[in-house]
Structure 1
Amino acid sequence: MGFMALQPWWRGASTTVRLPCPDRTWGYYKFSIRACSDRKSLKKSTREARQSKNPIKNSNKSSSRSEVNQVPSPRFDEVSDNSDVDTVDISASNKESVDDVAPRDKVLQACTVTSGLISALGLIIRQVSHFASTEGLPIPDSSMDVTFGFEIWHLEMIGGMVIFITSCRLLLLKSWPDFAESSNAANRQVLSSLEPLDYLVVSVLPGVSEEILFRGALLPLFGTNWIGIVAVGAIFGFLHLGSNRKFSFAIWATFVGIVYGYATVLSSSLFVPMASHALNNLAGGILWRYTSKLELSE
């Protein structure tokens, strides 16, 4: 019987087939068939053979490819550098703004202590002037010229002053950049750390205490006329410099002090400027809080 001897076709070897010969008992025909090997395996083997023959050239190609892969993108680096600079600037500005903000407990403590001292000084001056006047000294009696009396029509004056001063504040914030910057810096330092109910404390205490001193004690001593009104208003405005407040804010405080002095002379009551001052402080604080939230949301 004939037989067939096969070798693996994927190695590209010859396959020998032996068949019985028709006219010879032990003879046979021999023919060769070339198997078709896989093209990918042939390409792979050829490439490996070439790489083994030229190791230097292949190493140069691989090194050049690695160098190309390691070349950084200038645009990406430039963008990343710019973003790093922007991040540093933003963090620095945020740090400065955080450093300028006073803690809540310190703000409330300073407001309470300062307002108490100012009120005590104003009441002392009023009592001293009253004692000097009763003793016959040529000193006006502050407690008699400006009282703590209240009448119903005072409410109309208070409401009109609050509307007038708040409208003037809004107009200046939009038309006077230096005043807007000074006002925002002062409000941010004092009001940023406060709770909503704290606004009542920092509005009422300074409003009451400052009016006791300036319009309740100093104004009668300087005279209840335009000279005294302007002089006390100028002192009031000058003392509002500092704490990130510029000269523009002092001008604004002088104007407000003159308005309060005029209302005091008209009403002969300390209640009118005290209530107007406290309500204007509260309106200014609420206005700043609302506008600052709008800026952050944008």
Structure 2
Amino acid sequence: MAETDILRITLLIQDLFLFILTPLIAQFLLWEESTSMTLQLRIPHFSILLWGVIAIISIIPLIDQLNSWNQSIHLPEFMSSIEKWMIDSEKAAEDTTKQLLNVNNWSDFLKNILIIAVMAGVGEELLFRGVLQKIFINWTQSIHWGILLAAIIFSTIHFQFFGFFPRVVLGMILGYLYIWSRSIWVPVISHAMNNALTVIFTPNTFNKGNHLIETISKTQNNIWYTLGGSILFAFSMWKIWTYYRRETELSIES
């Protein structure tokens, strides 16, 4: 079996047991409510789901800008050995990711969509937003602190130090999508879409020569795309927040 296939199987097992089975067991042990109630498995309004996906897509240019800034951060001289270890770890993770994404046929491409986008989107949201975020909110008695702490753990567990802050921001966005939409499926599908775009638009053997992908790759760190995306992101989140506020007021009145 090819090394890349072994890597995919490893990720699949990780998604199934660590990110899907673990939160399902945790919610059963920690809370008396049903799984559907605890994890908010209700089907969301289509418009809210759509705004959630738009929010994630539109914030990508800003995330790219934050990623460039994060990579420029250097530790003090006395911590140079730690920084070297971080750089080596980051390089190893980057090489593994490139190996996984450098496909040359439809079969491997669809496998990556399933494992990197769908399975990761479902599993990571169940664990980080469905369970850990709820624990932190209950512990701190604050939605905002709970979302921030869950996002920090979400970013830390990826062990990509030079993408730490952008991933914290992404985790916080997913956290608010979960709270404001009142459905786990909004962050799940938004997360899966974000990962799917990475699979689709990362230059590799499979998509080499695709003009759309080459054009989009040239827009990275473009200030106008970042500004336009940020405005659309803010509007999308506002639409979801107004839905949350309206639903909260209706719950109080009833």
**TM-score, normalization by structure 2:** 0.62
Distance 1:288 1:178 in 2: 22
Superposed, 1:266-277 pairs within 5 Å as 266-277=180-191
What is the aligned partner in structure 1 of residue 178 from structure 2?
A: 264
Amino acid at match of 1:265: I
2:48 to 133, 154, 159: 154
Deviations, residues 140-163 of structure 1 (Å, cap 9, x unaligned): x88535411122222232222232
1:157·1:272 contact (CA, 8 Å) conserved in 2?
Answer: no
Superposed displacement of residue 171, structure 1: 3.4
Paired position in structure 2 for 1:212: 126
Tell me the CA shift for residue 273 of structure 1: 0.6
d(CA) in 1 for partners of 2:113, 2:95:
20
TM-aligned CA deviation for residue 237 of structure 1: 0.6
Higher strand share: 1
* Higher helix residue share: 2
In the TM superposition, 1:2-13 aligns within 5 A as none
Unaligned runs of at least 5 residues, structure 2: 74-89, 215-254
Which consecutive unaligned segments of at least 5 residues does structure 1 have?
1-101, 135-140
CA distance in structure 2 between the partners assigned to 1:172 and 1:164 by the alignment: 14
Task: Report whether the alignment pairs 1:106 with 2:16.
Answer: no
RMSD: 3.0
Aligned to 1:240: 158
If asked which structure has higher relative contact order (CA below 8 Å, sep 6+), I would say 2
Give the whole-Å Cα distance in 2 for the aligned partners of 1:154 and 1:129.
29
Residues 275 and 213 of structure 1, relative CA distance in 2, 3 Å threshold: same
Give the aligned partner of residue 111 of structure 2.
198
TM-score normalised according to structure 1 size: 0.53
Which of 19, 28, 42 is equivalent to 1:127? Answer: 28
Whole-Å Cα distance in 2 between the matches of residues 230 and 160 of structure 1?
22
Q: Is the 8 A contact 1:219 1:232 kept in 2?
A: yes
Q: Distance in 2 between matches of 1:250 and 1:229?
A: 16
C-alpha distance in 1 between matches for 2:69 and 2:135? 36
Q: Does the aligned pair in 1 maintain the 2:41–2:185 contact within 8 Å? A: yes
Per the alignment, residue 15 of structure 2 pairs with 115
Alpha-carbon separation, structure 2, partners of 1:186 and 1:176: 20
Task: Give me the whole-angstrom Cα distance separating, in 1, the residues matched to 2:63 and 2:196.
Answer: 13
Q: Distance in 1 between matches of 2:100 and 2:63?
A: 18
Give the number of equivalent residue pairs: 181
Aligned mates of 2:35, 2:165 — CA distance in 1? 26
Asked if 2 retains the 8 angstrom alpha-carbon contact of 1:263 and 1:272, the reply is: yes
Cα shift readout 1:5-27 (whole Å, capped 9, x = no counterpart): xxxxxxxxxxxxxxxxxxxxxxx
